[in-house]
Each structure stands twice: as structure tokens, then as C-alpha cells.
Amino acid sequence: MKIRYQNQSTPQFLDSILETMTLEEKIGQLVQADLSWDVDLESMVRSGAIGSLFTIKDVNLIHHYQDIAVNQSRLGIPLIIGNDVIHGFKTILPIPLAQACSWNPGLIEEAERMVTKEALYAGTHWNFAPMVDVARDPRWGRIAEGSGEDPFLGAAIAEARVRAYQAEAILPGRKMAACVKHFAGYGAAIGGKDYNSVDLSERSMREVYFPPFQAALNAGCKTLMTAFHDLNAIPATANTWLLVDMLRKEWGFDGLVVSDFDAIGELIHHGIAADHKEAALLAARAQVDMDMMGNAYPFHLKTLLDEGKIELDWINCAVRRVLTLKAELGLFEHPFVDPLQAEEIFLSEAHVKTAKKLADESIVLLKNDNHLLPFDPKGKTIAVVGPLANDCTSILGCWRFAGDLTRTETILDAMSRTYRDTTIRFAQGCTVTGEILNADSVSKVLEGADVCVCVVGEEESMSGEAHSRAFLDLPGQQKALVEHVSKSGVPTVLVVASGRPLVLTDLVPGVDALLMAWHGGTTAGAVIADVFCGVINPSGHLPVSMPRSIGQIPVYYAHNSTGRPVEARGVIQFNREHKSKYLDESNEPLYPFGFGLSYAHFKIGEVVLEKESFTKNEQILMRISVQNESNIRGATVVQVYVRDRVASVARPVRQLVWFEKLTLDRGETKKITAAILPKHFGFYDPSMTFVIEPGVYDVFVGFDSKAPQAGTFSITG
């Protein structure tokens, strides 16, 4: 396989190549296809009619097409290969929602760098990640792919991921591009139904849904993907307010914008384009550079140009963006990789270790009555039950990419491997979705057991894209299974392996301990085994509120006060207090955003604000004393929330503005300094101008979003 271009990644080179290109070759650079496209793919690549292929795991297949592009096409422009490496290539990390439970962007960055290495070595040039859609509705299956409900936490993680995916020096001469998606508001699909319409105010877009995108772009993210939904009736892929006014003009983004899969073609179903030609025109006007499987650009851009509906300048600009990206990633000089090297690093000891570190921090302990955990298994009998206890498929989660089932240990296997002098008895009880509960087999293993570990949840295919759910109970007979176990009187640890928060309200009282394990990836089994026996002390905190019931959804901590808040004395009308609440359900979630227990016990001590008042250009410094009151080392997440008492618009009752993950030895006290930037509680005034208003602010410090008030400061003009 020869390489045609050496040291050619300069602007002059790009000019010269653009001058040499025919219109057809230019349009080709704006076309992205996967292998399912019903065309003669090889001939199209050979004629320069395709600029990018995606969803190809096999490096040999990548090389096959790359060889055609580089060595058999007229200009030899390399293909850029995109893939959805959402939480791992071969070594699979916990799903992104679980990763967010670590509240540890540094560790996420480290682990995702490892993922980048595997992907780069296997020929991927472009990662369709990070997915940064804020999600406040767990019915939406794609909540699994993001960082939860909060824009501040989401922004911190978005930045970390971009840095990891675009890191230098992972593969000599080459880099991978990140692609932040799905722009924007996709997580607010009405009713939590994937692809559904989104109706959001400009304020919500700017204050809640945009910040993680802006953070990703500020971290240098080279590309952005559009979204499927219609935003306030204008489909995101043709939405010039989103893609031109905000993205290009206000934020000055000059990188590549790719449509989501067939999102240009789907403008027809949205009912804003009569055919693919009109769809292509609308997307081009919104400055979408590349058409992913939309059947629009490849067949209609030329006609639109001939008819004078689009300009050659626009095509040139879009092509230049594609070529610039290819050049920046080193593709002209290094279009091929060494497949043998990839095999050596996949699932290497170091990679599995890194994955485990992150998986350890992704587990959230939600309940631990009478310190049932950690449990010393030595000499004990453990009943392991439930459909996910011996399942290595589901725990890899949605988008498991090239995840290797043969290298994924189940929870049951990990417990059997790690515990010594322990009797482990297993009964599956039921399947995840099945209608039959084999209660007898469960009773048998429970008889005389010292403890029961009951592992329930969702299959990997129950969350992710196009997998929304209207009910958030445990599917099938699993609820009955847990109730059956609870009745046995055997102390029970409920382990929930799912792609989203589930409604567990009825089950929690009947179990002694509750661990949210999510879908934890390659090392999920080992992590649960270690957490159970105390080798790992859980430190995860929820990045999303756990609902008590479906009727509460969306339930999230940063809601506005309303005029009749539940905490205040209600207005009496018709002899009854009128408040913003349900007659039949609490306003509170089952577990609040930010919550997570540890085997250690922490306390916030003195909180000292550096001053009483600050200008809007100053950092608000606060010294916080944190104590580990227990006799075991552990980690927690210190969180600071702020409330603007009186503003020119209604503000959230509190919003996260700072956090730090902290490890403390037994009995240790640490003094940390929180530095809050006023821009993090700034907002858009009634004229949509960003302001940090003078006034009084309450500050809350603790370990979750219910943290008590710790002080007050003012912002002067």
C-alpha cells in the first residue's frame, strides 16, 4: 500500500488540492456512508464520491477501502473513518451515565485516553462522541450515553472527554477527532420518547442544554453532529438559529458539522422538505458540511448548484473543512495503521486496570442499613440470585462496540473467583423480561444463606438509541423476584444493573443494601465482587435524580421555585392550601442528584467564605473543612450549590457551581478551597443578555443536592 502524500498538511497544499478537484470529487468529500448503503461502495470510493466511511470495526476492512481511496482514486485523498466509540473499543468502560457517577473528570479523561488508543490503533479517525445531551427524563433511552441532568457537571465531563479523544502522541503522527453531539436539546424529547419533538425556550437552551456543547468546543472539539429532533418546530439539522446564528456566528465555530444518520433525508418526514433535493438545500443553508447516509448531498448538490440555489463558495468551504480535518489528523501522511499493534494493546492488562479504576468509582451505594456492607465472605454462604448475576452481555451496556464477551466476567464468576472459603449458591429466578418466576429454585438457595446478592436490571438493548421506556419498573418478573427474596428474611443486597435510573421505590424498604451498578463494562463483575467484600469502598454519586414514580418525571434538583413552592405556606383558596405539588406523590425524588454513600462517613465542618461580598469579576473563595469520621479510608464528592435570592428572572432553587472528589484516610480532616466563578451562576436577563447580577446569594455545601445552607455572599455591581 503506497502513500501518495508526504509532509503535505499545509494550507497551500489544501489550496492546491482544492484547485485540482472536480465538482464531483468535492461533493464526494461531503458524503459519509456506512457499509449498508445500497450502492457500489468500492466504485464510489474509487471515483472519489465518498469522503468518509463509518461503523467499521475491522481494521482490515478499513484498510481495504482506504487502499482504494489512497491508491486507486484519482487524487488519493484518504477516507476519514468514523465510529461510535462511546465507552470503549475492545476494553469497555462503564456506560457514560455510570462514568458520570465518578464525578471525577480526570479519571474519565485517563480512561477515555485508553479507549482512544485502542480506537486509533484499530484505524478509527473520528469518534462520534462525546454525547453531551443533558437528560432529565430517564424514560429516554439515550440518558445512558450522557452525563445526566446537570449542565455544570456535564460541561466538566464533556471537556475531559474531548481532551481524551483528541490527545496528542497516542499514535505517532496521528490523532483522533472528537464529535460533540447531538446539537441540541435532544435530551428533552417530549415524553422521553426518542426522536420526538423538543419544545424549549431560548433560556433553557442557553442555560441548560448549551453549556456542555460550549465546554466541548472550548476544549477544541473539532467536529459537531446535528440532532434528529425538531426544536420548536424547526428540525435541528436544518435549524439556522442553532447551526448558523449560535454555532457559527455567536460561538465562532469553524469546524466540521456532520448530520446525524439520515437526518437530512428525514427532513422529508419532518414535513419541511418535499424531497431529498429540498432537504439537501435546507441542510446546506444551515451549513451542515457532511451528509451522513442522508441520500441528499451525493445526488442533489450539483443540481442545486446548477440552479443557483447554493453557492460554489459554500461547497468549497465545506470541502476545505473536511480536508483540513483529514490533514490535522495526519491522514494524508499516515492513512494506514499496523493491525498487529492493535491486537497487542486490546484488553491489555493496563487497559483493563484503567477500566476497573473508573468502574470502581461508578458504583453508587444508595442504602446500607446496619452496615450490611462490606460483607466478609469468609466461611459464609452467599445466595446469588437474579437474571443479571451471571450475564456478561448486558453489563457491557449499549454501544458496546467491539466489546469481547469472552473477556467479560459475570458478577457470579467474579465472586466465585475472588472469595475464599465461601459457599456460593446461584439461582437465576427469572429472565430479564420473561413471565416466569422460578420461586422454588430461589427459595432453595436462600435457605440457610448468610446473605443474598440479588442482581436485577435491564438488558443492554433496553437503553440507548431508540430504546425509550414508558415504565421504569424492573422488567418482567424481576420485581416479584426481589419481593420474594425480601420475604425470606435473608439480609439482602440489591444490585441494579441498568442503563438508566429505574423506579425502585417499592423495593427499597425490603432490602438492606442497594447498589446502583449500571452497565459497568468489561470489569463490572469484578467491581461488584470487590465492593461487596470491601476491597473497594464505593464513592459514586448520582448525576441524575432517581425518581420515586414515573408521574414525577421530569424530576430534577435545579427547578425554579414557582410562585407557590411546596415548602412555603400555601395560599388558602377554597379552604385548602394551594401549592405546587401532587396530591398523590411527593415532590422529592427517591434519591437526590449528587447523592451517594460510602462505607466511610463524612462530615462537613467549618465553611468560611473569604469575604462577605465580591465583585462579579472575582472568584468566590471558600474554605471547607471535610472530615472522615469513620475508621475506614474512603472518598466522597464535596458539592457547592448557589441560589440567587432575587434576580430579574426566576432562577433555580439551587445550582451546582463547584465540586471536588476527595479521598480521606480514616479519621482524617482536610481543608479544601472551593473557587466559584460567578459566570457559573450568571444567567440570561429578559433581553437574553448574559448577566451576573448584583445581589445576595445563598450557598449550600454538602455531599448532595440537598446540602444545607452554609452561608451567604453578595455580588456588588
Return residues touching ligand BGC (CB under 6 A): 55, 84, 128, 181, 260-261, 465
* Least distance (Å) between residue 129 CB and ligand BGC: 8
Residue 98 to residue 101: CA distance in whole angstroms: 5
Q: Write down the H helix ranges in 426-563.
A: 439-446, 478-487, 524-533
Is 84 annotated as catalytic? no
Residue 496 to residue 276: CA distance in whole angstroms: 45
- Using CA atoms, how far residue 208 sits from 150, 212, 240, in Å, is 7, 8, 20
Closest by Cα among 519, 460, 449, 457 to 482: 457
- Using CA atoms, how far residue 60 sits from 13, 123, 128, 336, in Å, is 29, 9, 21, 10
Which amino acid type is present at position 479? K
Choose between 226 and 655: whose C-beta lies nearer to ligand BGC: 226
**Block residue for cell numbers 436544518:** 238
Neighbours of 218 (CB within 10 A): 13
Name the phi and psi angles at 363, rounded to 5: -75, 135
Find residue 426's DSSP bridge partners.
Answer: 384
* Least distance (Å) between residue 92 CB and ligand BGC: 17
Q: Say if residues 624 and 675 touch (Cβ distance below 8 Å).
A: no
The three cell numbers of residue 365 are 451505594
* Least distance (Å) between residue 377 CB and ligand BGC: 41
The three cell numbers of residue 153 are 457537571
Closest by Cα among 279, 335, 320, 262 to 5: 335
Residue 110 to residue 350: CA distance in whole angstroms: 12
Q: Say if residues 654 and 640 touch (Cβ distance below 8 Å).
A: no
Residue 186 to residue 146: CA distance in whole angstroms: 11
Three-class SS of 546-567: ECCCHHHCCCCCCCECCCCCCC
Residue 532 to residue 526: CA distance in whole angstroms: 10
The DSSP result for 509-525, as a single string, is: GG-SEEEE----GGGHH
> Edge to edge, what strands does the sheet with 492-497 contain?
364-368, 513-516, 492-497, 451-457, 381-385, 423-427
Which amino acid type is present at position 76? G
Angle (nearest 5°) at CA 595 between 589 and 598: 140
* Least distance (Å) between residue 143 CB and ligand BGC: 13
Choose between 58 and 665: whose C-beta lies nearer to ligand BGC: 58
Residue 288 to residue 171: CA distance in whole angstroms: 30
Choose between 293 and 323: whose C-beta lies nearer to ligand BGC: 293
Choose between 82 and 386: whose C-beta lies nearer to ligand BGC: 82
Residue 637 to residue 641: CA distance in whole angstroms: 13
The DSSP result for 422-446, as a single string, is: -EEEEE--S-SS-S---HHHHHHHH
* Least distance (Å) between residue 128 CB and ligand BGC: 4
Q: Say if residues 110 and 375 touch (Cβ distance below 8 Å).
A: no
Q: Say if residues 538 and 598 touch (Cβ distance below 8 Å).
A: yes
Which residue has the CB atom at the shortest distance from ligand BGC? 128
Choose between 213 and 419: whose C-beta lies nearer to ligand BGC: 213
Neighbours of 458 (CB within 10 A): 29
Q: Say if residues 273 and 267 touch (Cβ distance below 8 Å).
A: yes
Which amino acid type is present at position 96? P
> Helix axis angle, 297-306 relative to 312-328, nearest 10°?
140
* Least distance (Å) between residue 261 CB and ligand BGC: 4
* Least distance (Å) between residue 34 CB and ligand BGC: 7
Choose between 128 and 419: whose C-beta lies nearer to ligand BGC: 128
* Least distance (Å) between residue 278 CB and ligand BGC: 22
Cα separation of the two ends of the chain: 65
Choose between 55 and 196: whose C-beta lies nearer to ligand BGC: 55
* Cα torsion angle, 706, 363, 628, 668, sign: negative
* Least distance (Å) between residue 149 CB and ligand BGC: 19
Q: Tell me the three state secondary structure of residue 456.
A: strand
Choose between 55 and 324: whose C-beta lies nearer to ligand BGC: 55
Choose between 97 and 363: whose C-beta lies nearer to ligand BGC: 97
* Least distance (Å) between residue 399 CB and ligand BGC: 9
* Least distance (Å) between residue 343 CB and ligand BGC: 24
Choose between 290 and 607: whose C-beta lies nearer to ligand BGC: 290
The three cell numbers of residue 6 are 508526504
* Least distance (Å) between residue 186 CB and ligand BGC: 8
* Least distance (Å) between residue 640 CB and ligand BGC: 33
Residue 22 to residue 26: CA distance in whole angstroms: 6
Composition of the chain by helix, strand, coil, percent to 5: 35, 20, 45
Q: Tell me the three state secondary structure of residue 234.
A: strand
> Out of 260, 262, 512, 530, which one is annotated catalytic?
260
Catalytic residue set: 260
